[in-house]
Amino acid sequence: MITFLVSIAILIIGYFTYGKFVEKVFGVKEERLTPAYTKADGVDYVPMKTSKNSLIQLLNIAGVGPIFGPIMGALYGPVAFIWIVVGCIFAGAVHDYLTGMISIRNRGAHLPELAGKFLGKAFKHVVNAFAILLLILVGTVFVTAPAALIADLTPAWVSMGVIVTLIFIYYIAATMLPVDKIIGRLYPIFGALLLISALGVGGALVVQGAPIPEISLENMHPGGLAIFPLLFLTISCGALSGFHATQSPIISRTTQKEKQGRKIFYGMMILEGIIAMIWAAAGMAMFSGQELNDILGPGGPGPGAVVSQVSIAALGAIGGTLAILGVIVLPITSGDTAFRSARMIIADYLNVKQKKILSRLWIAAPLFVISVALTQIDFNLLWRYFSWANQSTAMIALWVGAMYLALQRKNHWIAVVPAVFITMVTFTYILNAEIGFRLPILYSYIGGALITMVIIVTYFVAVRRRLEASEAGIRPIHVDDDFEKTA
């Protein structure tokens, strides 16, 4: 219990200390007009208040990831707490803040455009395809997961097919309509439900004196799976998630002032970390490692069953049902913005204005067709592909942030260090995984380390060349919009 409470305290302190430091390194400009005003279109670029933007950002990034991921990560034992705290403060929140703020400085650009600008034109095309793949996987996962939870609460005659269809109808509406029509109006209500459910479960763990284990580096996974790299892909949302790099630009287009960025981007990631801590603790306290492994393993009911059992055990039938509804809200409010983000990325890539609804429709329709087909694939398989694509996107986003800071001769180490770590994680995983090259783990460690070293050297060489070219007047550096406007 002490480890649990101290971890949450450290996350909160991290927002007020390291978050402030990251903001200072970036250097906000109060007088600079944001894209919400300079590109206002009444659809995606719409100025909204900080409180509303914060709740939307939280719901955008907090799908089932900070619940299902930590529940699965609980199999490794309290070492998961360390990754959530350290990862959230020094990697995830930095990742979210930089992607959001760099997007604000570049007309609300999404990650593919930013990757092309800072890492090279070829990256724009690669990251564009990668981001669309990730978003479709996210949208699909966040249809099937909440549908399964809803099915447990509804009469038997309400089939999964009906529930999935209703969720898709909502997704289509949220993807197509202006951001302030559905998302801007419903998310504050959903946000309140989310926070009540998370705090309810967390409070019950404390009041009931749940046997939450104390800090340990021991690997307690019943199947003996390696902590590195698997834990760092299993728990992504809540610690570090590339999916967030696709969501922050949505809010960069509705943020009123740069000063609001720390609360919206860094702060909401810290809050997601607290949610992840609560569910990781619940998984460890209410189930033995073997029990949890049986539930999460092949043939088991999956993490949704853990959510249901924990909620009802902690809060009773009525309170537990409300908590489950809060969990259902999470994936639905990330799935809709996943498809919305995919539409915006494709529109930017093809340079298609989104003022007219027909322009939005012909881009969005194929995304939903593909997603419907993917719902027929096993959830666990989808999750493995999502986890790898997710952390690979985080790797790219952190290198973009590092390059942005380096070209301004600012402290780029705040992004370089987590970028190096997650680069090693993602390449080690894909070399070893069944969905990858299936190399022995030792060879995967060696291969991951060698690839990571090549990327580090490439990065520093690129930084030096671009700075030298700028000083020689050959290639001026423009990290922000060329037409900075001030209020």
Residue 405 · residue 414 · CB < 8 Å: yes
What mean pLDDT is reported for the chain? Answer: 89
Amino acid (one-letter) located at 266: Y
* Distance between CA atoms of residues 278 and 70, nearest Å: 9
Residue 414 pLDDT:
98
| Mean pLDDT for the stretch of residues 467-487 | 74
Residue 41 pLDDT more than 80? yes
Give the pLDDT band of residue 381 (cuts 50, 70, 90): low
Residue 59 · residue 250 · CB < 8 Å: no
Residue 383 pLDDT:
64
Q: Provide DSSP, 138-159.
A: HHHHHHHHHHHHHHHHS-TTS-
What is the total count of domains within the chain? 1
The 8-class DSSP code of residue 32 comes to: B
Within-domain flag for 441? no
Which of 217-231, 301-315, 375-389 shows the lowest per-residue confidence on average (mean pLDDT)?
Answer: 375-389
Q: Which domain holds residue 244?
A: 2-23+33-380
Residue 486 β-bridge partners: 32
Within-domain flag for 462? no
Within-domain flag for 414? no
* Distance between CA atoms of residues 337 and 63, nearest Å: 10
Q: Provide DSSP, 202-231.
A: HHHHHHTT--PPPP------TT---HHHHH
Residue 301 pLDDT:
78
Express each pLDDT in 261-280 by its tens digit: 999 999 999 999 999 999 99
* Distance between CA atoms of residues 164 and 150, nearest Å: 10
Pick the more confident residue, 165 or 487.
Answer: 165
Residue 23 pLDDT more than 90? yes
Within-domain flag for 479? no
Residue 140 pLDDT more than 90? no
Give the pLDDT band of residue 305 (cuts 50, 70, 90): confident
Residue 191 pLDDT more than 80? no
Residue 189 pLDDT more than 80? no
pLDDT over 90 percentage in the chain: 53
Which of 318-322, 403-407, 434-438 shows the lowest per-residue confidence on average (mean pLDDT)?
Answer: 318-322
Pick the more confident residue, 318 or 336.
Answer: 336
| Mean pLDDT for the stretch of residues 27-39 | 93
Query: Model pTM?
Result: 0.90
Highest mean pLDDT among 247-251, 468-472, 481-485: 247-251
Query: Considering only CA atoms, which of 39, 140, 35, 126 is closest in space to residue 354?
Result: 39
Within-domain flag for 433? no
Amino acid (one-letter) located at 55: L
What end-to-end distance do the CA atoms of the chain give, in Å?
50
Where are any strands of DSSP class E within 271-418?
A: none
Residue 485 pLDDT more than 60? no
Token reading at 317: 């039938």
Residue 96 · residue 61 · CB < 8 Å: yes
CATH number at 310 reads 1.20.1740.10
Express each pLDDT in 141-157 by its tens digit: 778 778 887 887 788 78
Give the pLDDT band of residue 379 (cuts 50, 70, 90): low
* Distance between CA atoms of residues 263 and 91, nearest Å: 16
Residue 390 · residue 361 · CB < 8 Å: no
Residue 484 pLDDT more than 60? no
Within-domain flag for 459? no
* Distance between CA atoms of residues 77 and 65, nearest Å: 18
Pick the more confident residue, 324 or 49.
Answer: 49
435 SS3 class: coil
Residue 238 · residue 81 · CB < 8 Å: no
Express each pLDDT in 226-272 by its tens digit: 999 999 999 998 999 998 998 899 999 999 999 999 999 999 999 99
Residue 371 pLDDT:
87
Within-domain flag for 435? no
Residue 434 pLDDT:
86
Residue 184 has a CB neighbour count (10 Å cut-off) of 19
* Distance between CA atoms of residues 427 and 429, nearest Å: 5
Within-domain flag for 368? yes
116-120 long-range Cβ contacts below 8 angstroms, 24+ apart = 118/400, 118/403, 118/404, 118/407, 118/479, 119/396, 119/399, 119/400, 119/403, 119/462
* Distance between CA atoms of residues 207 and 202, nearest Å: 9
* Distance between CA atoms of residues 198 and 204, nearest Å: 10
* Distance between CA atoms of residues 344 and 341, nearest Å: 5
